[in-house]
Amino acid sequence: MTIAILMPSIEPSMRTGRLTRWLRRVGDFVEAGEPVAEIAGAHGTMDVEAPLAGVLTHMLVAAGAEAIAVNAEIGRIEPGPPPHARIPASPRARRLAREAGVDLSQLAGRGANGRVVEADVRAALERRAPQRQAPRAGGVALRPLVEAAEGALQVGLEVECRLDALEEFRARLNARGRSVARVSLLDCAVKALALALARTPQANVARAGAGHEPARRADVAIALGHGGEIVAPTLVSADEMPLDGIAAARADFLAGRFGPDSFEKGACLIANLGALGVRRVLPAVIPPWTSVLGLGAAEQRMIVEQGRPAVATMMAATLAIDRRALDEPAAAALLAAFKALIEEPERLAEG
């Protein structure tokens, strides 16, 4: 007899949600409590865990499906023992090993009765990571964007931003031809994020030793490609910079011109993958930042406006946070401020 996997609720008020992705495939054996899917609601994401051990036999809802009712059946599991001997491992260790391509049979588990735990997998990843010196540009040590998120509790929130007014605003700015570099969508997003950080200090939290503290400035780091690396130079007090100044600084970074303060820590990193055609970015928080904003592609979509269908240019903005540094209400306030600034772009010139 198959057992249903039901759509859980992230919070008491949640009525529907989105199935972000399946973490296992039909035919896979899963342990009780092992994550099999990831869902998203209005204020975060969470894993859907297998209700019991068995084989995942059905995926009734496709990845990316929207408006799935809470308690709706999304999949099915056939109870039973594993088809062959399995390495004893925790669900978190098994998931990390699967995503990183680590063979659990090659690890010596340090958990109870030799069980492989997450720390064992992370230790294996550290051992196989190549050791290299930090690259340099013009005498300035670059800080490459690290590849793995640390094992902190992370939460993701998302908003949809309408860009029609922003695109008109950018066109007017660039038509004046006063800036060394054209003001891009990313430049506007950096300014909006910096202003939003300044206006929501509860979300502008920086690392301090082993803990966290309120950030003194609204610094924003930008993930950029440079010399085969992905580096993250920082715009210090970006909320006080004019848009043409942000555009010029970004152009300098892309050309490899970094200053002595280009790699200050800051609190938030922004990554724009929209130019690569990515519709939604699901970022992970990596040190030294406590939040990461991922931008998807700007694309025309059908929306409902005053009860009528309309075409608008939309962009998904997803914020991942380190739950130890800030909570969901703070993150939601930051995203709301960012969205308001993007959709009322004249305020970017005022701030």
Q: What DSSP element (H or E) covers 221?
A: strand 220-222
- Give me the percent of the chain exceeding a pLDDT of 70: 89
Cα–Cα distance measured from residue 245 to residue 52, given in angstroms and rounded to the nearest whole number: 56
At 262, list the tokens: 């280009």
Q: φ and ψ at 208, to 5 degrees?
A: -145, 100
Note the pTM of the prediction, 2 decimals: 0.61
187, 146, 33, 50 alpha-carbon torsion, rounded to 10°: 50
**What pLDDT, in 10s, does the model give residues 272-294?**
988 788 888 988 888 889 999 99
**What pLDDT is recorded for position 138?**
56
DSSP state letter for 233 = -
Q: Is CATH 2.40.50.100 the classification given to domain 3-128? A: yes
Q: Is the dihedral of CA 74, 79, 80, 81 positive or negative?
A: positive
Q: Which residues contact 43 (CB under 8 A, 6 or more apart)?
A: 10, 11, 157, 328, 332
pLDDT digits 0-9 by tens, 16-48: 999 988 988 888 888 888 889 989 887 677 889
pLDDT at site 84: 56
| The 3-state secondary structure of 75-101, one letter per residue | EEEEECCCCCCCCCECHHHHHHHHHHC
pLDDT at 147: 47
Q: Is the separation of the CB atoms in 144 and 134 below 8 Å?
A: yes
Residue appearing with tokens 């130019």: 275
Q: In the chain, what percentage of residues exceed pLDDT 90? A: 45
**Residue of 72, 80, 23 lying closest to 47 (CA atoms):** 23
Stretch 339-347: mean pLDDT, rounded?
A: 95
- Helix (H), strand (E), coil (C) string for 268-306: EEEEECHHHCCCCCCCCCCCCCCEEEEECCCEEEEEEEC
Comparing 123-127, 178-182, 194-198, 335-339, which segment has the lowest mean pLDDT?
A: 178-182
> For residue 144, what is the DSSP state?
B
Check if the beta carbon of residue 62 is closer than 8 Å to that of residue 90.
no
Range(s) within the chain of domains with CATH label 3.30.559.10: 144-350
DSSP state letters, 19-79: EEEESS-TT-EE-TT-EEEEEEETTEEEEEEPSSSEEEEEE-S-TT---EETT-EEEEEEE
Query: Tens digit of pLDDT for each residue in 280-339?
Result: 898 888 888 999 999 999 999 998 888 899 999 999 999 999 988 999 999 999 999 999
pLDDT in tens, 253-265: 888 888 777 887 7
246, pLDDT greater than 90: yes
List beta partners, residue 206.
Answer: 213
CA 97 to the chain's CA centroid? 20
For residue 121, the surrounding DSSP H or E stretch is helix 118-128
The mean pLDDT value of the chain amounts to 85
Distance CA 230, CA 137 (A): 13
If one looks up domain 144-350 in CATH, what number appears? 3.30.559.10
Q: 108 pLDDT band (50/70/90 cuts)?
A: confident
Q: What are phi and psi of 122, to 5 degrees?
A: -65, -35
Give residue-wise pLDDT tens across range 186-243. 999 999 999 999 999 999 999 887 788 899 899 999 998 877 778 889 999 999 999 9
Model pLDDT, residue 306:
86
* Contact call for residues 237 and 221 (beta carbons, < 8 A): no
Q: What is the pLDDT of residue 183?
A: 92
Let me know: does 180 contact 255? Beta carbons within 8 Å: no
Closest CA to 94 of 23, 3, 19, 7: 23
What is the SS3 assignment for 229?
strand
Is 18:69 a contact under the CB 8 Å cutoff? no
Cβ contacts of residue 243 below 8 Å, gap of 6+?
173, 179, 183, 187, 188, 191, 348, 349
Residue intervals of the chain classified under CATH 2.40.50.100 are 3-128
